Amino acid sequence: MGQRAQSLTLAGIMFLSVLTGMLMLDLDNMEVSQPNLAPAVTGDSGSELEFGTEPAVMLLVSDEDLNSITMTVLIDGVQYNNFSISENGEVWIGIPTDEVGVVLVEATVFDDEGLSDTWSGTFTVRARDMELLVSDPLPANKGSKLIFGGTLLHHDLSDCKVSWRQADGSGGALPVQLQEDGRFSEEIEGVVGTVTITVFAECGAQSTSTDFQATWLEGSASGCTDTGAINYDENATQDDGTCQYHQDADGDGVPDGEDQCQGHDDSVDEDGNGVPDGCENQIIVYDPSDLGQFWIDKFLCQGGEGPVVDDYNTTVEDGHLCEVSVVVDSNNVTLTMNGLPNHDFQSGPGCCAGSQVYNITIPRSPTNDTHGGHDSTNCPEAAGLYECAPIRGSIGYALNGVPLFGPEDGPGGDAVASHHGQFQEDRQDIWLGLCHGHSGPGGTYHYHADANCIHWHGHAEELGWENYSFPPNLQGDSSPVIGVAFDGYPIYGAHGVDASGAVSEMKSSYRLKDGETGYNGIEDYEYVEGSGDLDVCNGHFGPTPDFPGGIYHYHSTMKNGLGDMGFPYFLICYRGQVPESSENDPCAGYGEDWGPGIGPPPEGCGEGQSQDQDAKSAGIPLEVTVPPFNGFPILGIIFCTWMVIYVRESAFSKGSRDLVGTAPGYHQARV
């Protein structure tokens, strides 16, 4: 046995010697030639598309050297050049849908040694179903013409006609001029009263019709409609902003002696009903041509009067306090805000919210944008008529000083649609908390939708913030103002006055394109005029509780006219002129790093780097430097593997990942 053990020992020593000799070889000097492989191109082999949409197919090109690849694309035999190959091999090809039928797309890739691969796909463009959309017109005054308009949707408008007639009339139908894009408008005259108008559309053998109510009123077209003004016009049906008052010492638009709010602090509103305490029986009417006093009265958290609130994604009581300052000069309103909300909230995966410094300037007297010629990249439906709002980053501010963000999340999807289960966001861990808000890079808390919670005070009814849900109709009336856009126009809550004069939940006029879910963000939506209550920017002109004579304003929307997602939720373009000082940072909403709530930055905004949140939170370095092992590449690999295992075990020993992927040390959201 002793000899056998000795032999085994010697054999082991010899084996270790041979292994050591192998490890001593400098494998770095070995050259292994790699054969040149043919490139490959793959993609969807085809699908059915709707006429008039703007779809695109993604192809994936693979090769050991993408820089050596040449690619040709043919669409129905005609060369297509509007594409590029990304660094990860993605190629997007737009499919034309301006004609009904089959579209053949062919692609061929070559490498520098002549090896190639081909792909082809057939896409069937189907005819769009005939659809006639007519918006309810505003009432006209006696002797004035009423204007109605709408849109006819069809795949071949060249064979379409639109006409109208009074529903119970005996006369024939009168033609309506149809534009190339299917839109139309018409002026009609009538007598005092309400009649039903029928609009007809014919496209070849297809036909459809729809009705609307046309109303003519007694009275003058415009004037002062405020009974408290010295120039009140009892025949006026629309306020023209000319109301004049007696002396108004506190500048609230109500004459002294008739002002029940005189002597009260207009900023104190303990019951949260949007009306200063002691002024509940007083309706304050503001001048739509000068919003200086309006913003002074409406912005919350001024003078450190905001409530102390808690972040539900932390294990401690945070004691956050929102702060806002409003300064008015002859032309502008300057807002300074710390970005913390006036309600309990959830930071989400981007935990946790922190105090910020926001300084913006908005015009004291908003002016409609009539310049046109804007870049329509971020809002193609506006066709360059109005300036686009950012699809990510702030588009305005809520009255508590919290930024209102565009609809897209970091990876580029519709943050609100994914939150409501329209699609699964598989590119990054993203979810929205209470009131559709969460935190982004650097603790920047923001809303992607809703924001009506700034006026909801459930605690007064012994309800906690977990009970909040959209949309709160606080007083059974039009919703109060919730924020301001960069053009100076107000953003109101969910409820407003519709075209019929009734108070209802406002609906957007955007809808998902056929087959889309919001995964691609703004590209998945299209504007259909008249399908909802609001225009292409998500606003309209009409009365509000503060401007009974009317003002242009935006609304917070969670539904469209079809009852689906209310994209763009706040606004997507500005109907007013945006001052240069208020223009948003194009890099905002992206950040320098890839992490929760952040997407890869656009060109010129830095290089995004992936970060592991658990390791980062545990204090473990994300980069491990391994000493060189000249001549010992295998030992180096073994050491690196051991270090990776050690780092992962160390990170996870600090605390387990919770259900929402927040950093250790924070508990799961309570709702």
| Amino acid residing at 235 | N
Summarised one tens digit per residue, pLDDT across range 132-146 is 988 878 888 777 788
HSE-CB at 327 with a 13 A cutoff on CA atoms is 8
Which residue, among 452, 473, 481, has the nearest Cα to 547 in the 3D structure?
Answer: 481
Summarised one tens digit per residue, pLDDT across range 130-187 is 889 888 788 887 777 888 888 898 888 888 999 999 887 666 788 999 988 888 988 8
Q: Give CA angle at 202 (198, 203), nearest 5°.
A: 155
pLDDT for 261 equals 54
- Distance in angstroms (rounded) separating the CA atoms of residues 633 and 615: 27
Average pLDDT, the chain: 78
Three-state secondary structure along 75-128?
ECCEEECCCCCCCCCEEEEECCCCCCEEEEEEEEEECCCCCEEEEEEEEEEECC
- Distance in angstroms (rounded) separating the CA atoms of residues 111 and 69: 5
Mean pLDDT on 335-357: 91
pLDDT for 595 equals 43
Tell me the pLDDT band of 24, cut-offs 50, 70 and 90.
low
Question: What is the value of pTM for the model shown?
Answer: 0.53
- Distance in angstroms (rounded) separating the CA atoms of residues 133 and 245: 44
Tell me the pLDDT band of 446, cut-offs 50, 70 and 90.
very high
Phi/psi region, residue 543 (left: phi>0; alpha: psi -120 to 50; beta: rest), is beta
Q: Give CA angle at 507 (506, 513), nearest 5°.
A: 165
| CATH architecture of the region 40-126 | Sandwich (2.60)
Query: Dihedral sign, CA of 238, 240, 246, 250?
Result: positive
- Distance in angstroms (rounded) separating the CA atoms of residues 391 and 573: 10
- Distance in angstroms (rounded) separating the CA atoms of residues 479 and 496: 6
Yes or no: say if 347 and 273 are a contact pair by the CB < 8 Å rule.
no
CATH number of 131-217: 2.60.40.10
Which residue, among 618, 610, 612, 611, has the nearest Cα to 651 in the 3D structure?
Answer: 618
In the chain, % of residues over pLDDT 90: 41
Written as one string, the DSSP assignment of 203-237 is: ETTEEEEEEEEEEEESSBS-B---TTSTT--TTBS
Yes or no: say if 493 and 512 are a contact pair by the CB < 8 Å rule.
no
Residue 76 C-alpha from the chain's centroid:
36
- Distance in angstroms (rounded) separating the CA atoms of residues 121 and 116: 17
Which residue, among 169, 211, 160, has the nearest Cα to 191 in the 3D structure?
Answer: 169
Summarised one tens digit per residue, pLDDT across range 315-330 is 888 889 999 999 998 8
Dig out the tokens for 413 from the structure: 């999807």
**CB-based burial label for 376 (10 Å; 0-12, 13-18, 19+):** middle
Yes or no: say if 97 and 526 are a contact pair by the CB < 8 Å rule.
no
pLDDT for 658 equals 29
Written as one string, the DSSP assignment of 262-316 is: TTS-TT--TT-SSS-TT-TT------TT--HHHHHHH-SSBTT-PPEE-BTTSSS
- Segment among 153-157, 193-197, 537-541 with least mean pLDDT: 153-157
Q: Say which residue the tokens 């209550």 belong to.
A: 533
Distances (CA, A) of 374 to 95, 388, 393, 522, 567: 25, 8, 19, 18, 21
- Segment among 114-128, 429-443, 629-643 with least mean pLDDT: 629-643
Mean pLDDT on 265-288: 63
pLDDT for 632 equals 41
pLDDT for 609 equals 33
pLDDT for 240 equals 67
pLDDT for 323 equals 93
Summarised one tens digit per residue, pLDDT across range 502-514 is 889 999 999 999 9
Mean pLDDT on 114-125: 92
Yes or no: say if 178 and 162 are a contact pair by the CB < 8 Å rule.
yes
Q: Say which residue the tokens 């295992």 belong to.
A: 645
